[in-house]
Structure 1
Amino acid sequence: MNDRFFTFNGRSSKDFNLLIQNDFEIEAGDADVSYTSVPGRNLDIVNPNNRYKNGTITYECFIDIRWFNDSFYKDLSELRRDLVAWLAVEENFSGYSKLQDNLDENYYYLARLSKAPTMSFISSKCASITLEFNVGPVKYRLDSDLYQEISNNNQLYNPEPLSSYPIIKITGTGSLNLKINGISYKITEIHDLTYINCEKRRIYDDKSLKNNIGVFPNYQYPILKPGENNISWDNSNADVSIKFNWRTFI
């Protein structure tokens, strides 16, 4: 076995003795644009849709059931059944799961299986398997995936080239004016715990959605731009923690 592996949905390819044979190659998604041709004009008009398409990560694997205990799998079809159960779990029909490859160990991807695994039998005991994942256009730093408590009147540094959409956790009581890079975002009432999810554009606590307590300029949620970001708030009884979600293109 080699040391190459990936994890998805909380399990590792090593659990299934998958021997990954191809290089770590990613097909990045293009910018999502359309074009309009105008008679008499040489250049088409570019119509940007302000988004990037998903990309693809493919694993070409080899498997041999003789690598398992004799009582584990009777044949390759049983192994394929468990692979499908692992990779195409029910919640993936509406969303994505984290995918991490140990050759890119500082980042994770949001991915879902593109189609059922393709298995080519070499013998009754071994086969090649192709696993193709549909992945989002950006990848996220693992060291920014946990909440970090920050101090008031602080400066945060985004090390990636893209703005991030953080999740801000506020504990305390009363109201709060959160200022990020000179822009004020007001929370009219805090009851012990409030979350601001800047990517999903939601404000909530442990029980319910509370978008009505946010007063944001032009209804825009906070972002953390590349480089330095200044943050402060006016409620001395409140504590703020942030899941930064630093990200870059795949």
Structure 2
Amino acid sequence: MTNEPYFEFNGHKSIDKNLYLLNEMELTIPESDLRFDEVDGRQGAIIYDNEREKDIIKTFPMELRKEADKSLFQQVREITHWLKEPKRYSRLLFSEDPDYFYEGIFHSQVRILDRWRDHFDVALPFRCKPVIYRLDGQTVTAHISGRTLENPEPINSLPLIQFRYSGTADATLTINGRQFRILRAAGAGMITIDSELGTAYRDGIANISNAILMQSDGYHVPQLQSGNNTISFTTQITQMMITPRWRSMAI
């Protein structure tokens, strides 16, 4: 058992690869995606908010220690294969912040200076989404109409919502007063609304996003605000399951 800090990615911990964290960790606050327009005769710029934060680069300064039965070059090749295999955002955990995880991808070129024969120092950068997710927010919970669900984080979450729809009549899902109408045209079956992807589908294949998410005032996905959220639904909806995906700002 070791108390060494580590990161975990793609099924492996860094210490399992003989990578040890150095005392040079930096925290990065995401940049807001804003546009500043300068206007003649006006003090200060006009600010346009794109209502998003930009990805951050989360860098782990590591020391790669030589294994007895391998060369450092062989170890680097194995580590490269481990980190570069998933070409998508994947779960990235850091032991010093154990209640949360990042969504990151390792894709950049990395240079390693061959200065010593028993170890290499290397900085491993991950491009990460600007939010981190609570591990306990990934738990699927059954929900009864009229109950509240408390978001413990300061920003809205984008939940995964699943339920069975009878198809006998139009149904309504209401979250904090906003109504999502499920039209009969959506068809009976197991409905999934993925707020993060902005999609809705039936039985895992039929895309019915427009039948649920298109409202009179535009295209909207369900969100769970900070604090209490009241969720109710009509009788055509049963077996309601919610994965809340609580999240906070990444650092």
TM-score by length of 1: 0.89
- Counterpart check, 1:198 vs 2:191: no
Shift of residue 176 of structure 1? 2.9
Please list every run of 5 or more consecutive structure 2 residues that lacks an aligned counterpart in the other structure: none
Is 1:183 the counterpart of 2:178? The answer is yes
CA RMSD of aligned residues (A): 1.9
Task: Give runs of ≥4 in structure 1 deviating > 4 Å.
Answer: none
Greater shift in the superposed pair: 27-36 or 186-195: 186-195
What is the identity, as a one-letter code, of the residue corresponding to 2:176? Answer: N
Alignment partner, residue 222 of structure 1: 222
CA contact (8 A) 2:25 2:61 kept: no
C-alpha distance in 1, partners of 2:81/2:99?
27
- What residue ranges of structure 1 are gaps of 5+ in the alignment? none
Q: Quote how far apart the aligned CAs of 1:209 are.
A: 2.3
Query: Is residue 249 of structure 1 aligned with residue 242 of structure 2?
Result: no
One of 71, 82, 89 as aligned partner of 2:78? 82
Q: Which amino acid aligns with 2:177?
A: G
In 2: Cα distance, 1:248 partner to 1:28 partner: 12
The one-letter amino acid paired with 1:196 is I
Distance 2:138 2:149 in 1: 15
The structural deviation recorded for 1:161 is 0.7
Which 10-residue stretch deviates more, 97-106 or 20-29? 20-29
3-state SS in 1 of match to 2:136: helix
Q: Report the residue type matching 1:228 in the other structure.
A: N
Looking at secondary structure, tell me which structure has more strand per residue: 1
Note if 1:134 corresponds to 2:127.
yes
Partner-residue secondary structure (3-state), 2:207: coil
Q: Which residue of 2 aligns with 1:15?
A: 16
Change (3 A) 1:2 1:215: closer
Give the match's secondary structure for 2:96. Answer: helix
Matches within 5 A, 1:1-250: 2-66=3-67, 68=68, 70=69, 73=70, 75-89=71-85, 91-92=86-87, 95-174=88-167, 175-188=170-183, 189=186, 191-204=188-201, 205-214=203-212, 216-217=214-215, 218-235=218-235, 238-250=238-250
For 1:4-46, what per-residue CA distance to the aligned partner results, in whole angstroms no more than 9, with x for missing partners?
A: 0111122211220111113543212211112222222221222
User: 1:246 is aligned with what amino acid?
Assistant: W
- Per mean C-alpha deviation after superposition, the further-off stretch among 232-241 and 162-171 is 232-241
| 1:215 CA displacement | 5.4
Query: TM-score scaled by structure 2?
Result: 0.88
**Contact conserved, 1:36 with 1:46, CA < 8 A, in 2?**
yes
Q: In 2, are the aligned partners of 1:179 and 1:231 still within 8 Å (CA)?
A: yes
Return the alpha-carbon distance in structure 2 between the equivalents of residues 19 and 78 of structure 1: 17
Amino acid in structure 1 at the alignment position of 2:243: K
Q: Please give the per-residue CA displacement for 1:181-214, whole angstroms capped at 9, x wherever unaligned.
A: 1221122345432100112111113233222432
* Cα distance in 2 for residues equivalent to 1:45 and 1:133: 33
> In 1, Cα distance between the equivalents of 2:28 and 2:195?
28
Deviates more, 1:165-174 or 1:102-111: 165-174
**What is the aligned residue count?**
242
